[in-house]
């Protein structure tokens, strides 16, 4: 007959489990301490790198983007505050703050033309005109980072993808799939007709007109009834307005 373990045996087993648990906790603590030390070292090296390449980070948009990516890997956000070591080292917080203010100015100045939606490339061109800089000196990544900081102003400022383009929205307009599909279709010629929308998406006439009229009411479209074929054109300035056309109001 097999004997059951006695009290002493159970106590020894419990003590062994406690020892293994303590060893495991110590190993985990050592690993955590090592990782913290490595991160601290890397952040220190990152600060030294920033001091050494300050000029390149401020002037070269590609270099600036790569620096942001390095910072993200160790949990550093140079744009989190205008105060602290990164603001003192680089001043890039001021750079993005100024860029954000200029983006707001341009979005407001062009809103009567585009209804609060502006193509990101057009926005970059207008920003460069305003800053008297070349397009190469201001990257798409710079604009996206500045726009992300504008979310503190509330709903409205965000980047949406429509077809092949990125559009910056500066008004709290909700676009559903029907609206986004029409904006994507309009990118080919700058306008659409009810018939084009019906054919492209296999919609009923009522659905097409409803979506187009909603975009018209939101200020995102303009109508043109002056064609010989009698078909109404719905023009979308947010995908057709050039930087030269809107530049005068954005300066």
pLDDT digits (tens, 9 = 90+) for 139-153: 999 899 888 878 766
Contact partners, residue 59, CB within 8 Å, separation at least 6: 137
For residue 104, the SS3 value is: helix
**Res 246 pLDDT > 50:** no
Judge residue 11's burial from the number of C-beta atoms within 10 Å of its C-beta, 0-12 exposed, 13-18 middle, 19 or more buried.
exposed
Assigned domain for 77 exists = yes
**Spatial distance between the Cα atoms of 84 and 80, rounded to a whole number of angstroms:** 10
Q: For residue 182, what pLDDT band results from cuts at 50, 70 and 90?
A: very high
pLDDT higher than 70, residue 222: yes
pLDDT-derived band of residue 181, with 50, 70 and 90 as boundaries?
A: very high
Q: Which two tokens stand for residue 225?
A: 């009834």
In a domain, 113, yes or no: yes
Query: Which residues pair with residue 168 across a beta bridge?
Result: 118, 159
Task: Judge whether residue 5 has pLDDT over 60.
Answer: no
Please tell me the least confidently modeled range out of 10-14, 102-106, 181-185: 10-14
Report the pLDDT averaged over residues 161-175. 82
Q: How high is the pLDDT of residue 193?
A: 94
Q: What is the pLDDT of residue 94?
A: 72
- Among the residue ranges 9-18, 45-54, 164-173, the one predicted with the least confidence is 9-18
Query: Within this chain, do residues 166 and 193 fall inside the same structural domain, yes or no?
Result: no
- The per-residue pLDDT of the chain, averaged, comes to 78
Confidence of residue 201 (pLDDT cuts 50, 70, 90): very high
105 domain residue, yes or no: yes
Which tokens is 237 given? 């300035």
* Angle 169-175-177 from CA coordinates, rounded to 5°: 135
58 shares its domain with 145: yes
Residue 124 pLDDT exceeds 70: yes
168 in the same domain as 46: yes
Could you tell me which of 159, 124, 143 has the C-alpha nearest to residue 64? Answer: 143
Q: Please determine, for residue 43, whether its predicted confidence score (pLDDT) is greater than 80.
A: no
* Sheet strands (E) in 124-221: 158-162, 165-169, 191-192
> Can you give the CATH number for the domain in which 203 is found?
1.10.10.10
Q: Are residues 49 and 77 in the same domain?
A: yes
Name which of 81-95, 157-171, 221-235 the model is least confident about. 81-95
pTM: 0.62
The three-state secondary structure class of 209 is: helix
Instruction: Give pLDDT, residue 90.
Output: 55
User: What are the backbone dihedrals phi and psi of residue 225, each rounded to the nearest 5 degrees, phi first?
Assistant: -105, 15
Q: Report DSSP letters for 15-35, one per residue.
A: HHHHHHHHHHHHHHHHHHHHH
How many structural domains compose the chain? Answer: 2
Q: Does 84 score more than 60 pLDDT? A: no
Distance CA 141, CA 96 (A): 11
Question: Does one domain contain both 109 and 206?
Answer: no
Look at residues 145, 172, 199 and tell me which one is the last residue of a structural domain.
172
- pLDDT at residue 243, rounded to an integer: 40
* Confidence bin at 65 (pLDDT 50/70/90): confident
Between 80 and 67, the more confident residue is 67
pLDDT for 97 equals 80
Q: How confident is the model at residue 1 (pLDDT cuts 50, 70, 90)?
A: very low
């Amino acid at each position: 007959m097999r004997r059951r373990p006695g009290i002493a045996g159970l106590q020894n087993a419990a003590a062994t489990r406690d020892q293994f648990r303590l060893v495991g906790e110590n190993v985990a603590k050592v690993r955590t301490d090592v990782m913290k030390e490595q991160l601290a070292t890397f952040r220190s090296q990152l600060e030294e790198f920033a001091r050494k390449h300050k000029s390149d980070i401020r002037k070269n948009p590609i270099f600036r983007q790569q620096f942001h990516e390095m910072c993200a890997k160790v949990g550093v956000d140079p744009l989190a505050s205008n105060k602290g070591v990164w603001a003192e080292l680089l001043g890039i917080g001021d750079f993005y703050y100024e860029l954000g203010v200029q983006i707001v100015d341009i979005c407001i100045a062009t809103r009567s033309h585009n209804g609060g939606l502006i193509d990101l490339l057009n926005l970059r061109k207008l920003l460069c005109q305003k800053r008297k800089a070349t397009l190469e000196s201001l990257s798409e990544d710079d604009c996206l980072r500045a726009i992300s900081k504008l979310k503190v102003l509330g709903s409205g400022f965000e980047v949406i993808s429509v077809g092949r383009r990125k559009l910056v929205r500066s008004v709290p307009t909700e676009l559903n799939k029907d609206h986004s599909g029409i904006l994507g279709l309009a990118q080919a010629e700058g306008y659409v007709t009810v018939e084009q929308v019906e054919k492209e998406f296999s919609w009923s006439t009522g659905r097409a007109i409803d979506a187009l009229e909603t975009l018209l009411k939101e200020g995102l479209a303009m109508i043109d009834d002056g064609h010989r074929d009698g078909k109404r054109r719905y023009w979308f300035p947010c995908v057709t307005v050039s930087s030269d056309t809107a530049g005068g109001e954005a300066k």
